[in-house]
A and B are shown apart, each in its own frame.
Chain A
Amino acid sequence: NAGVTQTPKFQVLKTGQSMTLQCAQDMNHEYMSWYRQDPGMGLRLIHYSVGAGITDQGEVPNGYNVSRSTTEDFPLRLLSAAPSQTSVYFCASKRRDGAYNSPLHFGNGTRLTVT
């Protein structure tokens, strides 16, 4: 299994540009989520989804949009990039087994720089 795949690995944007960070998982996980990680800080939840067609906000959703049209994919869109969005972005997924203890599976991240 490939697990959780994120593309691209690196991206440089100018302020005001838009882009989509891709996330795909092949484990048939219902739950998917996006985190950002800034230097010296822990991971912060941006958006999450519990299934196709269902999304919700995490703790830092401003400036980001998501959609979930399939179980496999959960893209994160930056409509107008700002320097404050310079960060490493991680996508994670987990199965919906009725237990809150099934582990989160993370991708290897996208390192985004906004100049």
Chain B
Amino acid sequence: DAKTTQPNSMESNEEEPVHLPCNHSTISGTDYIHWYRQLPSQGPEYVIHGLTSNVNNRMASLAIAEDRKSSTLILHRATLRDAAVYYCILKGVSNFGNEKLTFGTGTRLTIIP
């Protein structure tokens, strides 16, 4: 599986935008970029995914570089509830029987009130 690199930790002030970077220089043409987050004492939850174009949903936006070797998860207005570990994951084409998601150690986001 192609690997992703994320900073171990980041801090941001409440109510300000947050840009969480992810490098994936060995991404293949069919790999999707997925983001999950894990709030304290909870299981991971899906945030967003994309292939080539930027994506928006109610939780966040995903900006994908033109060469696809990096991406950025954008939280437009961070709240205390956004404090979590954020995982950037590459998900390649696979048959249904192998839906393995390889979770790295992610970025621990701290929100400062």
Residues of A within 8 A of B (CB): 4, 31, 33, 35, 40-43, 45, 48, 50, 56, 58-59, 90, 92, 94, 96, 98, 100-101, 103-109
Contacts and interface: CB of A to CB of B under 8 A. Distances in A.
A104 B96 contact: no
Interface of B is mostly: loop
B46 A100 contact: no
A75 B101 CA distance: 20
A105 B42 CA distance: 12
B43 A92 contact: yes
Given A45-B100, A100-B94, A107 B105 contact: no
Nearest to B48: A103
Given A42-B102, A45-B101, A98-B96, 8 more contacts: A43-B103, A48-B97, A59-B100, A94-B99, A100-B99, A101-B91, A104-B46, A107-B43
A10 B106 CA distance: 25
A42 B97 contact: no
B46 A33 contact: no
B44 A106 contact: yes
B45 interface: yes
Contacts of B10: none
Interface in B48-75: 49
